[in-house]
Structure 1
Amino acid sequence: MGKAQVLSRAKDFIYNNARLLDRKRYEYHLEGGSNVEVVDVLKAYQNQDGGFGNALEPDIRCPQSQPVPTELALTIMEEVGYFNPYIIKGIAKYLQKITLKDGGIPFVFKSASLYPHAPWWKSEEECRPSINPTGKILGYLYKQKVYTDCYQEEWFLKNEQFIWDYLDNGNPTGYHDGIQLITFLENIPDTNKADKYWPFVDDWLSRTGTIERNPLAEGYVHKVLDWCPVSTSYSRKFIPDVEINNHIQVLIEQQQEDGGWPINWPALSIGTELEWRGWITVERLRTLKSYGII
């Protein structure tokens, strides 16, 4: 299939099925669209408490703010290179409220269970800190420079210490933990301190099984291009060019007849599957663009 056909079919899928947010992400990445327009749509998912909910993470359908959708909002702003100061100040207000007494942010709150949700988005306790999403949240708060007053606030310092303690004593259990640590270490201002921990991360990434190397592996696995979605990804140094090219070829072949890419986990509903596929399809196009395929 030609490169132009891959893009044309994906574009049709996005405009037929994707959320406005993902249509705007597509326009930004592939058609010279506005990053301000992306973030203007993102604002609609923010609550009065400053956090994000309202199914920004499609498998968490509750309107109330949750930690992971708030992390996702930061991820989107970083992706398009525009951190809105109003949104960031709201996020800081929310994080101050939900940071645990000894540092760390919970994975999910019980309010998620009051609405439709994927089975993994439930919690019997709300007082256990989680590296996911604490690591990326602090990493991207450090990356943005529109609101830096929070860096010396107690809640922020507690969360930072939680991450250092995790690096000293923890053991990442998979992709979702790993990208939290990488994002934090890539953006922490104290690069000398970060340098102490990169060997630990590198050793873990190099172990058999951390990065799924089989491009045809099925099920909920995270393959080479999940770890290296763009050519500048940190994990890229662990993957030879020939392996990248093999995964790219399989990725192109996995584009479905309707032009979108599939998800590799059980869908909560028809609607959430389309929402996720819209997100994933933009992600796949970003990857193909970064590696010079489209």
Structure 2
Amino acid sequence: MKNESRNVLERSKDFIYKNARLLDRMRFAYHFENGSKSDVLRALQAYQNQDGGFGNALEPDMRCPHSQPVTTEAALLIIKEVGGFDSVMLDGTLSYLQGISLSGGGLPRATTAVNDYPHAPWWTTEQDGVPSLNPTGSIIGILLGQSECTEFQAEQWFQEQVGFVWRCLEESSAGPGDYHDAMQWISFLETVPGEPERTAKYKGILDEWLTGPKGIEKNVHAEGYVHKVLDYAKTPDCYANRLLQSDNIERHLDWLMDGQQADGGWNITFPAVSPTGEQEWRGSITVDRLITLKAYGRLGKKISFGTEN
């Protein structure tokens, strides 16, 4: 196991330093080479615009230079990854989010500015000003889950976002529509304070959906744009982990390790906008895969996880 783990990591390092964006090279260094949080944040800051939001193809399927909600969500996920909520970037991000907050709550999924630049077809946007659970739920959940900066959480614009997410959940009695919606539910329900009974109700609906036919794909051999065990349970402390059996997680970890390509990286399972976009995605996903393998002990000490029944 030790030699196999070392080989996986060494091959990935070669791929990352040959092919990945500076941001993902810094992420790799942070997780596997004692790199610094500040180096990751400096690389991330290059994607931030003057309005405080993020654009510039941080989301590789959206080549728009202008700030976008989903690209800002991607930035917040990286800030969360390295514990960087004390960064000066957050002030600008909050200003941007307040500025694009819609009346009555909700952030748009994207703006029509994406249409003027290369983008994946699923990002085509017909109308501005339409509130969407995705990425509002995830963004609000991320911001609620950190403790470095909390004053804004009492402000009206933010409370309207919280109310909007609750309304979205109330209107979805059958549970999330898909994986991306499920991530919104999880991010929000894991962090929203003060309403344990309400939270428990919607966690019950979420759990039923996750374990049902539209939820976590447990077939390790399923192909196409599907979301499998380790997409939901990227690390042992993820919400969905408690719904999974340990032998199922082990099978998917074996599959994940087998999925490393000859060049040391992992492939994407969806069509890319361009060769550059594909390479950017592969660098990002390769770091994500390594984080998962490390978290489950596949690049080091074995750990216990999941349910044993």
Q: Same fold (TM over 0.5)?
A: yes
Residue among 96, 99, 116 paired with 2:98: 96
- Percent sequence identity is 50
Contact 2:105 / 2:161 at 8 angstroms: preserved in 1?
A: yes
Aligned equivalent of 2:10 = 8
1:147, distance to aligned residue in structure 2 (A): 2.5
Residue 127 of structure 1 deviates from its aligned partner by 2.1
- Residue aligned with 1:45, SS: coil
For 1:159-238, what aligned pairs fall within 5 Å after superposition?
A: 159-170=161-172, 171-190=175-194, 192=196, 193-238=198-243
Instruction: Identify which of 65, 68, 91 aligns with 1:66.
Output: 68
Tell me the C-alpha RMSD between the 2 structures: 1.2
The amino acid of 1:189's aligned partner reads: P
8 Å Cα contact 2:54-2:68 kept in structure 1: yes
Picking from 16, 21, 35, the partner of 1:33 is: 35
Shift of 1:146: 2.8
Give the SS at the match of 2:105.
Answer: coil
1:213-235 deviation per Cα after TM superposition (whole angstroms, max 9, x unaligned): 11111111110000011111110
CA distance in 1, matches of 2:217, 2:164: 28
| Partner AA of 1:55 in structure 2 | A
Residue correspondences, number: 294
Query: Is the contact made by 1:52 and 1:64 (CA closer than 8 Å) also made in structure 2?
Result: yes
Larger mean Cα displacement after TM superposition, 152-161 or 221-230: 152-161
The 2-side partners of 1:33 and 1:17 are apart by 19
Q: 1:191, CA displacement in angstroms?
A: 5.2
- CA offset digits 1:101-145 (Å, max 9, x no partner): 121111111111111111111110122211110011111111223
Corresponding residue of 1:259: 264
Amino acid of the structure 1 residue aligned with 2:194: D
Hey, what's the Cα distance between the residues in 2 that align with 1:114 and 1:84? 34
> What is the alpha-carbon distance in structure 1 between the residues aligned to residue 195 and residue 157 of structure 2?
21
Q: Scaled by the length of structure 2, what TM-score is found?
A: 0.92
User: Paired residue for 1:130, among 132, 138, 150?
Assistant: 132
Match of 2:146 in 1: 144
Unmatched 5+ stretches in structure 1:
none
Q: Deviations over 1:245-278 (max 9, x none)?
A: 1111111111111000000001111111110000
CA apart distance, 1:77: 0.8
Runs of 4+ with deviation above 6 angstroms: none
Contact 1:230–1:291, Cα closer than 8 Å, also in 2: yes
* 1:173-232 deviation line (CA, Å, top 9, x unaligned): 111110111111111222524233211211111212311111111111110000011111
